[in-house]
Structure 1
Amino acid sequence: MKIRLLVSVCTLIFIVALPFPSEGVKRKKSVPRLDEKIAAAKLIEDFAVLREALEKAHPSLYLYTSKEKFDQVFDATVKSFDKPLSRKEFYLRVAPVVEMVKCGHTYFDFPPKLLNQLSREEGLFPLPVFFLNRKAYVDLENEDIPLGSELVSINQQPMAEVLAKLLPYLRSDGYNQTMKYRMLADEFALHYRLVFGVLKEYQIQYIPFGKKEPVTIKLPAISGSKLQKRLVNRHSAKGKFKNFEFKWIEQNVGLLTVNSFDFGLRKKGRQRYREFLKETFEAIREQVEAKHLIVDVRFNEGGYIGHDATLFSYLAQEPFRENESAITKLIDIPLEKYQDKKEFFKGVEKAIEKSLAKEFKKAPDGLFHLIDEKNKLSQPKRFGFKGHIYILTSGWTHSGGAVVCSMALNNDNVTFIGQETGGGHEYYTAGNMVLYTLPNTLCQVEVPMILYRNEIPENSFPKGSGIVPKHQVVQTQKDFISGNDTVMQFALELIRKSKP
C-alpha cells in the first residue's frame, strides 16, 4: 500500500491550480515484464540512481542503520549485479536494502502497470489471512477451511519460515513489527507469489479453532481478480470507513473515531473537519457527567499535515507544538531527470522548492531547520475535554495517527490500549515525498524529505519503537471469529471499574 503524499496545505492548493498534462499527448506503452532480463550495466545504473536519491534526499537514512553498514550493503549489492537479472530478481535484491532505512514512508516497488497486472494474474494463494500475535489465521468464511483456523504451514514450509522470508519486504518506522503484519495481511498473496513463485495449487496445513490436531488440504490457486473479491468480503473487512465520527456508546462515555487524516485538500473539507470537532466537543461539554472519552485511531494511517494538531488541541492540557523540530537535507529537489512525471508534472517541483525555501533555513550543522514561525505554540481549546481519555491504537496507527498519540504522551489523563503503533514515537520522516522512476527497470522509489521529531517526555520508549500501550491488548482467536472487538471491550471494562 502506497501512502499518500504529505505536503504543506499551501503547496497543495498551488499544485491543484496547475494544469495537468494533456491526455492527447500520452502514448500507449507496453507493460514491463516481471521476467524480462536486464543487462548488468543497466541494473548497476538503476541502483546508483536509487542510492544517490536516498543519500542526497533522505534526512533519516542513518537514523537506525549506520552509514558504515549502509555503505557495506550498497557496495555488496552492486557487486552482485554481475550478470543479467530479471526485474523480479532485481526487486528481491533491492527491496530489503531500502527496508533498512526503517521508514514507513519510504518504499521501493515495481512499475505501476506491472503492479496492476500482478494483482490480476493467476497462481495466487487463495485465502485472505489475518495476523494475531504473529500467527496467521484464515480470514474468510468458506467451505474449504473453517474461519479463524490457524495456518501451520504452506507447501510443507512452517509459517514461521514463510514469514521470515516475506517480512523483509514490508516497511515500518524503526524496529516496529505491528505495521508489517498489518500490511502483510492485505498483501500476503502477492508477496508470497514474488518470493515463492506462481503455483497451481497450495498444500495447506491448519488447525481449526478448538482443535489440537492439524489438518492438511490442497487448494487450487486463484486469480488476482477472484482474490480481490475475497478480500473485499473477508471476515475482518470493516466496510466503508467514515473519516471521523462521534457517538455515545454507554452512559456518559463518548467514542470519537478518527480513521484518517487523508482529507481536506480543499478549504471546504478542512472547514467541515474543524466544525465537526467544535460541535463534538461542545456536545461533550454539555454532557456534564461525561468523564470518559475513547479516541479510536486504530485505522488512522495519517494524511495531510495539521489535522493531527487540530484534533489534539481538544485533548491537550497545556500549550503544545505539533513537532519539537523538523529538518531537511536540502531545499532543491535532486535528480530531476528521474522524478516521476505523473507525480511531478510541470510546476510541482518549483512549487515545493519555493515552499521549502520559505519554511526552512540553513543552520550551522549544514541542515535546513523549520523556522519558528512555522512551528508556533498552539493553545488547548476552551471546550477541550478535561476527563480521562482512552486512546485505542494498532499497527495501522501511523504518520499523523501516531503523531496524535505522541503528543498525548505529554498528558497525565491519557491511557493507551491496544497494539504498539506502526508510527515511531519520537521520529517520523514524511513531508514532501519525491517519487523517482529508475531508468531501466522502471521500478520506483519514494523518498520523504523532512524528518520530524515529536515533542515527547524524555525516555518514553526505546529508540525505534512506536507508542507502546500501557495495556497491550490483542484480539483473541475466539473474539476474531465471533467479531467481538476485544480492545474496545477492554477499554469499556476499564472505564466501568474506574467508576465509583
Structure 2
Amino acid sequence: MLKSKIILILIFLLPLFTFSQNEKWPAEKLKQDLTIFKQIREKANSGVYKYRTKKEIDSIYSWAFLEISKPRTLLDFYKIMLKITDFEGSLHNDTTLPDDFLNKYSSGNLFFPYPVKLVENKLIVNFQNSEIPLGSQIHSINKIKTNTLLGVFHKYYTTDGYNISGKSIGIGSSFAKYFEMEYGSQKAFVVEYSLPNQTEKITKTVAGISNDVRKGNFKNRHSLPIDSLQYGKIKTKYSFKVISSNTSLLTINTFAIGRNAKDKEHLIYKKYLDSCFQYLSNNSQIKNLIVDVRNNGGGTDPNDILTFSYLTQKPYRENSSAYVNFQQIPFPEYLVYEETEPQKQKEERKDFEDEVKEEFPTLMNQKYIQDQKFNLVLQPDKNSFKGQIYLLISPRIASAGSLFASLVAGNTNAIVIGEETMGGYFGHNGHTPIEYELPNTKIKTQFSIVNLEQDVPKKANQIFARGIIPDHEVKQTLEDFMQNKDTQFEYTLKLIEQE
C-alpha cells in the first residue's frame, strides 16, 4: 500500500519492560508513551491536521489520557492507539503491537470459523460449509449486533479521510482476527443469521477454530475467483486485450512495477504501454477503452504518472502542492532503522534527511515546500487515447492507485464505474514512510510524511475527505455474489452497448 521512496524499518533498543498478556501496565508508563506518540505525530506527521482540526485532535487525546488514568493491559492500550491512528484519516497510517507479544498472544487462540464479505452492506457468509449456508446474512455473533461489530472493527484498518468503504477490505480478510483481538479467544460462537433471500432468523452455535484452519478457510473462500487479487500476491501486474470490435481493456493491478524510472521492470512496462497505445492509435475503430484498476493498492513512481500520460489530452502534474513538516527528523531517539550498527544508523539518517532537504528546501508558513523540479509539468504521450474511457474503481484502490484514478476521474472524459475508493480524490499523505517505536510498550507507529494535494479539479460529485466517487455506483448483488459474477464489468459492457 505504500508508495515508498525511502523505507525505515525499526530496530530501537531501550530497556524493555516485560508484561504478560493480561498483566496491566502502570498508568505512568502508558502516559509517557502516549505523550511521546502525540509529540511525534505533531512534529513529524504533516497529515495530522489534514482532515481534523486541532481542537478535534486535542479532544481525542484528552479522551485517550482519561482512558489510561488507571492501569491497562497492553492490548487495551493498543486499541486506544488504533482509534487515534484511524481518526487522523490516512491509509498510510499503521500502528502495530510488538512482534514478540503478538506471536505469543496469537498462539493457541481460537477464531470465528468462516470467512465473511460485505455484500449490499450486509455481512455475508463467504464459505461453503455444512453449518451456516453460503450466502447467509449474519445478524449477530455472541449477541453483538453486526452493525456494532463493524463499527468497532473500523479502527483496525485505516483509510483516507472519512472513508468507510475501504474498511470492507479489512473486514473481508481479517474479520476473525479483529473479533479475536477485540473480544478474546472464543471456544464457541452463537450466530444469529438468516438464509439467503429470507428474513427468518436462525440461531446456531459453531466451534472456534485454530489460526491455521482460519487461514486455510480464507484461502478456500467462495469469492476467491472474483477477489483473489485484492488479498493475494499479484502475478499478472498488467494486461491489455481487445474484447470487441470497438472496445479494449487495460488492466493495471498494481503500480509496484520496478522501484524507479531506471528500473528494468519499469522500462519493460513503459515499452508495453507504448505498444498498446500505438496499436490503439493505429486502430481508430476502437473507440472505447476500459481501464480497470479495481485491485490496485498502490506502488511506486513513476508508474502511475506514466500510465496517465496515455489517457490525457493536456499537460499535467503529479500534484498541485506538497510539503513536509521537517528537514531534520524529530525525536530520532525513537526512530526505527534498517541498519543495526550505530555508525550505519547515523549514515542512514543523514541520507534520509539529505533527500528530504533536496526535495523540500523552502520553509514557508512552518512548512517545507516541494521544489518544482520534483513536480514537473508533463505532456501527454503522442499516442494518448482519444476515445471514450471507462474507469473501473473499487474500495481496494489506494495510494498511487488512487492518485492515478483521481487524475483520470478529474482530468479526462472518463466515465467512472464501481464503488468509492479508500484513497482520497483531492489528496493524501504518502511517498515517504517513517516509523517510530515507543520506549515503554514497544508499540510501533508508521506514517507517510508528504502531505500532497493532487492536481485535480473540484467536481460536483467529489467530496472533501472522501475517496473517488463513481459516476455510476455499481455494487455486487447477493445473486451476483453467489454466482461470482463481475457486476461492474458486465455493467460497463452494457453501458457501452447502449452508446
TM over 0.5: yes
Note if contact 2:434-2:447 (Cα within 8 Å) is conserved in structure 1: yes
- Would you say 1:262 and 2:256 are equivalent positions? yes
Structure 1: how far apart are the matches of 2:318 and 2:52?
Answer: 26
1:356 to partner: Cα distance: 1.1
* Aligned match of 1:331: 327
3-state SS of the aligned residue for 1:273?
helix
Matching residue within 225, 242, 245 for 2:212: 225
After TM superposition, list the pairs within 5 Å mapping 1:372-411 onto structure 2.
Answer: 372-411=372-411
Structure 2: how far apart are the matches of 1:492 and 1:309?
Answer: 27
Matched letter for residue 489 of structure 2: M
* Aligned match of 1:305: 301
Query: Identity of counterpart residues, as a percentage?
Result: 30
Note if contact 1:475-1:487 (Cα within 8 Å) is conserved in structure 2: yes
* Aligned match of 2:452: 452
1:409 to partner: Cα distance: 3.0
- Would you say 1:367 and 2:367 are equivalent positions? yes
Structure 2: how far apart are the matches of 1:129 and 1:31?
Answer: 36
* Aligned match of 2:164: 177
3-state SS of the aligned residue for 1:492?
helix
User: Over residues 227-258 of structure 1, what are the superposed CA-to-partner deviations in whole Å (9 max), with x where a residue is unaligned?
Assistant: 11111121222445321111222333211111
- Would you say 1:483 and 2:484 are equivalent positions? yes
* Aligned match of 2:4: 7
- Would you say 1:71 and 2:58 are equivalent positions? yes
- Would you say 1:155 and 2:152 are equivalent positions? no
Structure 1: how far apart are the matches of 2:492 and 2:86?
Answer: 34
Structure 2: how far apart are the matches of 1:124 and 1:481?
Answer: 24
- Would you say 1:497 and 2:484 are equivalent positions? no
3-state SS of the aligned residue for 2:319?
coil
Structure 1: how far apart are the matches of 2:283 and 2:18?
Answer: 59
Matching residue within 81, 89, 92 for 2:79: 92
Matched letter for residue 395 of structure 1: P
1:46 to partner: Cα distance: 1.1
User: Over residues 293-337 of structure 1, what are the superposed CA-to-partner deviations in whole Å (9 max), with x where a residue is unaligned?
Assistant: 111111111111321101100101101001111111112122212
Structure 1: how far apart are the matches of 2:306 and 2:93?
Answer: 26
Matched letter for residue 463 of structure 1: F
Gaps of 5+ in 1: none
Matched letter for residue 63 of structure 2: A
Which segment is superposed worse, 134-143 or 118-127? 118-127
Matched letter for residue 96 of structure 1: K
After TM superposition, list the pairs within 5 Å mapping 1:245-284 onto structure 2.
Answer: 245-265=239-259, 267-284=263-280
Distance 1:122 1:393, change over 3 A: same
Note if contact 2:190-2:203 (Cα within 8 Å) is conserved in structure 1: yes
Matching residue within 270, 278, 284 for 1:288: 284
Gaps of 5+ in 2: none
Matched letter for residue 112 of structure 2: F
Distance 1:79 1:322, change over 3 A: same
Matched letter for residue 248 of structure 2: G
Structure 1: how far apart are the matches of 2:19 and 2:251?
Answer: 41
Matching residue within 165, 175, 196 for 1:188: 175
1:184 to partner: Cα distance: 1.6
Structure 2: how far apart are the matches of 1:115 and 1:247?
Answer: 45
Structure 1: how far apart are the matches of 2:385 and 2:89?
Answer: 35
After TM superposition, list the pairs within 5 Å mapping 1:10-49 onto structure 2.
Answer: 33-49=20-36
Structure 2: how far apart are the matches of 1:413 and 1:279?
Answer: 22
3-state SS of the aligned residue for 2:441?
coil
Note if contact 2:259-2:301 (Cα within 8 Å) is conserved in structure 1: no
Structure 2: how far apart are the matches of 1:228 and 1:166?
Answer: 19
3-state SS of the aligned residue for 1:260?
coil
Distance 1:63 1:236, change over 3 A: same
Structure 1: how far apart are the matches of 2:305 and 2:379?
Answer: 10
Structure 1: how far apart are the matches of 2:401 and 2:259?
Answer: 17
Structure 2: how far apart are the matches of 1:268 and 1:115?
Answer: 38
Matched letter for residue 256 of structure 2: D
Note if contact 1:77-1:93 (Cα within 8 Å) is conserved in structure 2: yes
Distance 1:286 1:170, change over 3 A: same
Structure 1: how far apart are the matches of 2:145 and 2:70?
Answer: 33
3-state SS of the aligned residue for 1:7?
coil
TM-score normalised by the chain length of structure 2: 0.91
Structure 1: how far apart are the matches of 2:259 and 2:196?
Answer: 46
Matching residue within 197, 202, 216 for 2:203: 216
1:55 to partner: Cα distance: 0.4
Note if contact 1:325-1:454 (Cα within 8 Å) is conserved in structure 2: yes
Which segment is superposed worse, 231-240 or 374-383? 231-240
Structure 2: how far apart are the matches of 1:165 and 1:493?
Answer: 39
After TM superposition, list the pairs within 5 Å mapping 1:399-438 onto structure 2.
Answer: 399-438=399-438
Matched letter for residue 416 of structure 1: V
3-state SS of the aligned residue for 2:182?
helix
Note if contact 2:239-2:252 (Cα within 8 Å) is conserved in structure 1: yes
User: Over residues 101-160 of structure 1, what are the superposed CA-to-partner deviations in whole Å (9 max), with x where a residue is unaligned?
Assistant: 011111212123444555554211111111123211111122222222111111122211
Distance 1:115 1:263, change over 3 A: farther
3-state SS of the aligned residue for 1:95?
helix
Note if contact 1:402-1:421 (Cα within 8 Å) is conserved in structure 2: yes
Note if contact 1:31-1:114 (Cα within 8 Å) is conserved in structure 2: no
Note if contact 2:17-2:440 (Cα within 8 Å) is conserved in structure 1: no
* Aligned match of 1:236: 223
Structure 1: how far apart are the matches of 2:394 and 2:173?
Answer: 15
Structure 2: how far apart are the matches of 1:386 and 1:343?
Answer: 49
TM-score normalised by the chain length of structure 1: 0.91
After TM superposition, list the pairs within 5 Å mapping 1:51-66 onto structure 2.
Answer: 51-66=38-53
Structure 2: how far apart are the matches of 1:217 and 1:209?
Answer: 16
Structure 2: how far apart are the matches of 1:490 and 1:46?
Answer: 51
After TM superposition, list the pairs within 5 Å mapping 1:100-179 onto structure 2.
Answer: 100-117=87-104, 121-179=108-166
Matched letter for residue 392 of structure 1: L
Matched letter for residue 308 of structure 2: F
Note if contact 1:420-1:466 (Cα within 8 Å) is conserved in structure 2: yes
Distance 1:343 1:304, change over 3 A: farther
User: Over residues 393-435 of structure 1, what are the superposed CA-to-partner deviations in whole Å (9 max), with x where a residue is unaligned?
Assistant: 1111111111112111343420000001111111100121111
